[in-house]
Structure 1
């Protein structure tokens, strides 16, 4: 979660600032509406990318192999 938050701020804030130069934001309501409309997709994209990266790293560290489990069989001595 912390990585997602930091990346969203580092990447998203400059992107939102750049995109805001192309829109008339005369009122606080318009500014808030713009921030939500533009910020939500940035946040969602960052979260999906962080999830996929973590999943990739976890699979790479596991080696992609499952450890062998000994087969349990019932014996007549039980």
Structure 2
């Protein structure tokens, strides 16, 4: 079996997970939303279409990213408050 390229053990929010979720959710829901919104404006040239996609897509991406981050932070805090030891605490107790 091949060795993993990289591993992480985040102590706070896993930013890799946040970026993956942002990418998938934006593709699944953001792109169709931009397509539907584009039907309400006149976009005669490719430049106008690209400009519209960036102007409308950027806030959708940013909103999705912030929502994924806040969700991950909420879930992390909820799991910490349930009495589960954090990974740093459990590693320290394993060494003793």
Whether TM-score is above 0.5 comes out as: yes
The worse-fitting range, judged by mean Cα deviation, of 55-64 and 35-44 is 55-64
Gaps of 5+ in 2: 1-18, 86-96
**Equivalent of 2:40, from 6, 22, 25?**
22
Gaps of 5+ in 1: 68-78
Structure 2 CA distance for aligned equivalents of residues 44 and 51 of structure 1:
11
The corresponding residue for 1:32 is 50
**CA RMSD, 1 decimal:** 1.7
Structure 1 CA distance for aligned equivalents of residues 77 and 47 of structure 2:
45
Structure 1 residue ranges (4+ consecutive) displaced by more than 3 angstroms after TM superposition: none
Partner secondary structure for residue 39 of structure 1: helix
Structure 2 CA distance for aligned equivalents of residues 12 and 52 of structure 1:
18
User: Scaled by the length of structure 1, what TM-score is found?
Assistant: 0.79
The corresponding residue for 1:62 is 80
Offset, 1:23: 0.7
Greater Cα radius of gyration, structure 1 or 2: 1
Offset, 1:64: 6.4
